Amino acid sequence: MSVDITMPQLSDTMTEGTVVKWYKNEGDRINEGEKLADVETDKAVMEMEAFTSGVLAARLIAEGGKVPVGARLAVVATGKEDPAQVKSQASAGSAVKAPEPAKKAEPAPGEGTGPATATAVAAPVAVAPSPSASNPVAEDNGRPIRISPLARRIALEKGVDLSLVQGTGPLGRIIERDITAFMAAPPAKVTAPVVSPAAIGPGATQVIAMTKMRHAIAKNLVASKQTIPHYYSTIDIDVEELSSLRERLNAILESRRIRLSLSDLLARALATALLEHPALNATFDGTNITRYGDVHLGMAVAIPDGLIVPVLRNVNRMGLIEIRQRTADLVERARAQRLKQDEMRGATFSVSNLGAYGLREFSAIINPPQVAVLAIAAAEKRAVVRGGSIVARTMLTLTLSGDHRVVDGADGADFLRTLKGLLEEPGMMLL
């Protein structure tokens, strides 16, 4: 029988997708697990693989075409049926055509009444996002890196910066021997010059069309600020001892080429604090509040003309080394827009870290259905009073944004007090 390939919902906010590229032509044999197409959502470009084997009888949407979630993209002949006949039937029964990029996507096939609707709804989804382990990821300058699964695993374990490794495999792919050779004699890293955006001359103007991602960000953030009564709580934390602990741990881990960041220790402390204060490790759908026994930490990552929030799942079950390795992998693939579907959804709490920009303090907007978000500024030396004397200490300012519908101000303040205690006395995280 024939099986429909439909547009899946690849993110919580996705309503339509764009077929960026097809990897199979009509008449091609496809096997389960093979890559079929790249699809652009409101958050990323994701790969889709076949969940069935057969012959690709018809591609109903051309490259560049937009369709709503649930609409048919193609049809696969999985039995002894004639692919040409399947194509003819599919084309005759499909009301979806590839729209012009500037036009609104048309409705799903057979929308409204008739058997086409039942077929489109009942047919199994034949594709799902699944970046393979050998997918390209992005270098610092945005160019793709291709890497084998084994090489990727070794690089993560050893903390190797893939942007410095020269691949010697097919098409420049990084393979195991390349990682081994790099570790034996790593080259000195050259800092790339900062490239400023093209200047706009005096009297000139520049009109920039909003991308699909930027439209989604605008829509979601406006909805968040309009529907969620935010409140903000700010606290200063002395992280002098935490910074010293980090340096001691990094000295121990130097031989393994692993270097922890303050953000890694903060993630560990957050996991502990959130489990003690489940009111903040929660989601709210407008009717019910759901609290969670595990912490799935959303981490805002800036990408060109947008923002993406990969999710570090079950961070409360991880040690510091695993947090560092998992975070590095997620951030790398987030910037390359090569995350899996479940790596961008299901966060129970999120953080926005702008410390690298030198900000002393800022506030973030809640990402619903979560009920809180933590803004992390820069850790810096400040003059503070200790024992009646002014001394220099490493200080960090954190700002909690809470949803006042479900999290009271006292709850937020109590959470920050617990977090402060963990960060100022890191040994408490071991208890």
| Residues annotated catalytic, as ranges | 404
Q: Dump strand ranges (E) for 130-273.
A: 137-138, 144-145, 230-238
Q: Which helix (H) or strand (E) holds 2?
A: strand 2-6
Reference 366, options 293, 311, 300; nearest CA is 300
Q: Is 6 left (phi over 0), alpha (psi -120 to 50) or beta?
A: beta
Q: Please compute, for residue 148, the number of CA atoms within 13 A of its CA located in the half-sphere on the CB side.
A: 16
Whole-number Å distance between alpha carbons of 161 and 328: 10
DSSP string spanning 20-80? EEESS-TT-EE-TT-EEEEEE-SS-EEEEEESS-EEEEEE-S-TT-EEETT-EEEEEE-SS
Whole-number Å distance between alpha carbons of 384 and 38: 53
Parallel, antiparallel or unpaired: strands 372-376 and 349-353: parallel
Instruction: Locate 36 and state its tokens.
Output: 């079929």
